[in-house]
Amino acid sequence: MRQRAYFPSVDRLNELFEYRDGKLYNKVVRNSRTKVGEVAGSYSSKYVLVCIDAIPWQVSRIVFMMHNGYIDGYIDHINGNTHDNRIENLRAATPKVTSLVSKVYRGIKNTKHGALL
C-alpha cells in the first residue's frame, strides 16, 4: 500500500475502534453501513481494510499504531497470514525483511509437506 501523507492519531483510533483478539470493533457509527459493536473492516484479496474518513487503511497498520503509538514504514505479519492481525503477529519491518519473509512463506506453501527444496 502506498505511503500516506498522514496517519490518524492514536487518540482518534481509540475513539473509533476497540481491539480484541486481532480484530477491530466499531465504537461509533462511522458511516451508514457500520454499527457499534460490529467487527470493523472488510477483506480484500490480500489485507483486511477499514475506511476512516472515506480513506481505506490496512487493519494491521491500525492495530500496530494503537498498541505501539507509531508507524515507521512497513508492518510485517510474522506468520505470513495477512488476515491475522493479532498484535503478537505484527512487527515493524524493512522492505527487505518483508520481501524475504514472503518468499520463504511462498516456498513453504509450494513444496510438499512444507519442506523447502
**Structural domain includes residue 3:** no
Q: How many domains does the chain have?
A: 1
Note whether residue 43 is domain-resident: yes
42 in any annotated domain = yes
Q: Nine-digit cell at 40?
A: 470493523
Domain hosting 96: range is: 10-114
CATH number at residue 26: 3.90.75.20
CA distance 85 to 48: 9
List pLDDT tens digits, range 12-57.
999 999 999 999 999 999 888 889 999 999 988 789 999 998 889 9
Q: What is the C-alpha radius of gyration for the chain, rounded to an integer number of angstroms?
A: 15
Q: Is residue 38 part of a domain?
A: yes
Digit-coded pLDDT (tens) for 84-113 = 999 999 999 877 655 555 555 545 454 444
pLDDT tens for each residue of 46-63 = 899 999 988 899 999 999
Whole-model pTM? 0.77
